[in-house]
Every structure is written in C-alpha cells, then in structure tokens.
C-alpha cells in the first residue's frame, strides 16, 4: 500500500505551490460599473483633480474669514448678501470686505471667499443682510481643489481588487472603463464508484456528489470560472483521460477524493503523468484534510482534495483560494483572517498539527470580542459546516485550547 512520504505544514505546503506558479493572465477592458471584485491589470493614475474646484461642505454663506473675527452671539458681525451661488454653475461673484454669498453644499466658492459659515450660526437681520454669531478659520467648511485626489496621483495599484466604493471613485474621476485581468478557468472533477448525481435515486452504498457543486460556487464567488467534468469512476485510465482534458482546457484543475494512502487511489500517479514537476506535496499536517495533493504540471496547478465534504471545503479555503487569487493577479493571496474571536469552551488539539474547527457565533463578550462555540462533528457530516459561521485555526504549536483563549476566525 502506498504511504505518505511526509506531512508538510500547511504554510510551507502552500508556499511551495505558490512559488511554482508563473502565470500571466490575459487583460480585458471592461466598463467600470461591471468591475466589482475584478483585479486591476495596471496602475490607475488620475487625470483630474477631485474636487475639480473649491466647494462648500455645508449649507450657509461664503465669507472672508477675517471678517468674522471676534464674532459672538452677543456681538455678531454683519454681512451684506451680494448674491447666491447657483448649483452646477461657475459663479462670477467676488466678495469684498463685509460681503457674503448664499451657498449650498457642493457649491463653488466665489472669488475672495476662503471659508463658509454654517447657516445655523447666522441669522437674517434685515433684507439682504445677516448676522454671524461665531468666528471661523480659513478653509473651514470647504474642500480645496485636489484635496481628495490630485492630477497625476496613483489612485489604485495593479493587483488591487475593485470594491464597491472604488467604482464610485473611478466614475467620479471620469473613468468609464478599466483594464482588468481575465478570470481564471477552473476544472473540477469528482471521483469514486460510490458517487451518483444529486438528482439520482440513492441506492444502498451510494452517496450523492456535492463537492462538484459546492466547489463550483466557491470558485464563482471568489472570482473564477468553474467547469465541472462530472463523476469519474475508480479507474486510473478514466481518471487520466478526464484530468488531461481538464488540464488542457483550464488554468487550474481540482480533483476530489482519490488522494489518501489507499491501493485504489491513483490521483497522485495521474498528476505526475500530466507534466513536470508533478506532485509537489502529498500529505499536509492539518486536520481535516491530511491526504491533500498539491501539484504543478506543465505550468498549471493541480490540487487533489479529500472526498470528505468538510475536509474539501477546509482545504479549498487553505489552498484553492490562494491559488485562485494568484491566478487572478491579486497581490494578496494568503487566507484572510476575518476577525479575532474568543472560544467558549476547551478544544483539544495535538502539538505539531494544525487544526481547523467549525464554530458558530454566540454573543459579544464583555470586551466586545465575539464569543464562538465549536461544532464537534464526525467525518462527512456536511451539515456541521452548514450550521457553522466559519472556522477557527488552532496552530501547530498549541496543545489544546482553553476557554476564553483568542483565535483567528475565518468566514466560510
């Protein structure tokens, strides 16, 4: 029976695979409003100032700040109103000593003005005249030209993932399309004589294939294009044929099951046949997911996941998502810590092995740190993950976790 040659720590295993990946995704120019979660293919430099002109941040009166000095509620300053700044238009008004102009939020400051007094700090005395009850400083309640973004400023860097707010910023600067990296294609294969399609009648000894569909949606959610290749029976020739096809048609190949140390598990042998250097890691010191395969074959990564649905999701989070991020052109690829949480009860673990434990939220603690409770599960119980809000990682240096210990939390 074949055995694992060694169990590699997860971080070292991931780095080993990522260092081999040399990939230059194609580039497409797409509309900004379609760019959510896409990865920038080059730096974006502003061609405009934002704001493009000096404008007010409040409703009130544009003034010369020096004319307000000494103003109080008992000794207000008096200003004559010479006009109103119309929204969306360049104003021709120019202020002299003791003069002001009505201005609205976003309005362009008239010549001579260097501040805006809020309407709440004024009072109409007679027609075309106001009283100002407080002194204001130069630049108060205004935005200067280019205060947000200046011409020539790099606003986004190559490799950044476009977020919701970024779209508004790009449109505000006049960008209607941007260059992004093309989405990587990911082939997904499930193996096993025991598998049937989800819609098939479940006969004794059979189980439904769910990994193809959960992994497809995971890939789609995090920015890839999944393609499923169905169920391959436990036959090395059939598996080799399907994996060669998937390898030819995709940028990343994922195969589930067939990775443990069993006489019927041929995946590692088939991976080695796909191209050099072949299998880089076979066996990771993590629970769940020890029989993981990480390979790189003719310039394409190949990952063998355990067939256990819980293990497959954990290993996908640890290895598939970082690889997907690198293929997408992202700068940051490692698993993302969502937050720090406090555990409610003790959790057993073994020194030297990294454990990933599903947990559910309980309540915020007295210090504001969220308290979580572990979900203890048996192999293949997919609903243990469904009931979970995410996972906590117990490092390989830990020998058990005590109540109130603080751990990193990773959302599903």
Q: Which domains does the chain have, with CATH numbers?
A: 10-26+182-328 (3.40.980.10), 27-50+147-181 (3.90.105.10), 55-143 (2.170.190.11), 339-411 (2.40.340.10)
> Is the pLDDT reported for residue 157 higher than 60?
yes
- The confidence score (pLDDT) of residue 41 equals 97
pTM given for the model: 0.84
- The confidence score (pLDDT) of residue 1 equals 36
Go through 278-308 and write b for each residue having 16 or more CB atoms within 10 A of its CB, e for each that does not: bbbbbbbbbbbbbbbbbbbbeebbbbbbbbb
Query: Model confidence over 252-273: pLDDT tens digits?
Result: 999 998 655 554 568 899 999 9
Query: Model confidence over 93-150: pLDDT tens digits?
Result: 999 999 999 999 999 999 999 999 999 999 998 889 999 999 999 999 999 999 999 9
- Averaged pLDDT, 374-387: 73
Helices (DSSP H) in 54-172: which residue ranges?
A: 164-172
E strands within 93-163?
A: 99-103, 115-118, 122-124, 129-132, 142-143, 154-156
For residues 177 and 38, what is the distance between their CA atoms, to the nearest angstrom? 12
């Amino acid at each position: 029976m074949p055995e694992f040659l060694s169990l590699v720590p997860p971080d070292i295993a991931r780095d080993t695979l990522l260092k081999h990946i040399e990939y230059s995704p194609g580039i497409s120019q797409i509309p900004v409003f379609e760019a959510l979660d896409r990865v920038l293919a080059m730096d974006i430099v502003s061609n405009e100032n934002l704001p493009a002109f000096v404008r007010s941040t409040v409703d009130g009166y544009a003034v010369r700040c020096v004319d307000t000095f000494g103003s109080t509620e008992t000794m207000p300053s008096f200003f004559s109103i010479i006009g109103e700044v119309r929204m969306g238009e360049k104003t021709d008004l120019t202020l002299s000593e003791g003069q002001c102009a009505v201005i609205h939020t976003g309005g362009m400051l008239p010549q001579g003005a260097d501040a805006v007094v809020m309407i709440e700090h004024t009072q109409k005395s007679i027609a075309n005249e106001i009283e100002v009850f407080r002194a204001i400083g130069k630049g108060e309640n205004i935005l200067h030209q280019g205060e947000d973004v200046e011409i020539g400023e790099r606003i986004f860097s190559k490799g950044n993932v476009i977020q919701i707010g970024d779209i508004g910023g790009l449109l505000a600067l006049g960008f209607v399309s941007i260059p992004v990296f093309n989405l990587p294609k990911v082939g997904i294969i499930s193996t096993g004589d025991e598998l049937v399609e989800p819609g098939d009648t479940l006969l004794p000894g059979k189980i439904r294939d769910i990994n193809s569909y959960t992994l497809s949606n995971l890939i789609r959610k995090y920015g890839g294009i999944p393609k499923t290749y169905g169920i391959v029976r436990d036959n090395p020739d059939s598996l080799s044929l399907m994996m060669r096809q998937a390898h030819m048609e995709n940028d990343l190949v994922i195969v589930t099951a067939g990775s443990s140390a069993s006489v019927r598990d041929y995946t590692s042998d088939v991976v080695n046949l796909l191209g050099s250097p072949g299998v880089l890691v076979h066996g990771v010191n993590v629970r769940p997911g020890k029989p993981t395969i990480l390979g790189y074959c003719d310039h394409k990564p190949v990952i063998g996941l355990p067939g256990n649905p819980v293990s497959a999701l954990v290993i996908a989070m640890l290895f598939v998502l970082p690889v997907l991020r690198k293929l997408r052109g992202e700068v940051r690829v490692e698993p993302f810590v969502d937050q720090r949480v406090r555990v409610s009860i003790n959790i057993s673990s073994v020194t030297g092995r990294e454990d990933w434990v599903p947990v559910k939220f309980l309540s915020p603690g007295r210090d504001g740190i969220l308290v979580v409770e572990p979900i203890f599960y048996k192999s293949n119980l997919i609903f243990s993950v469904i009931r979970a809000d995410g996972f906590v990682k117990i490092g390989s240096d830990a020998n058990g976790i005590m109540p109130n210990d603080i751990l990193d939390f990773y959302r599903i």
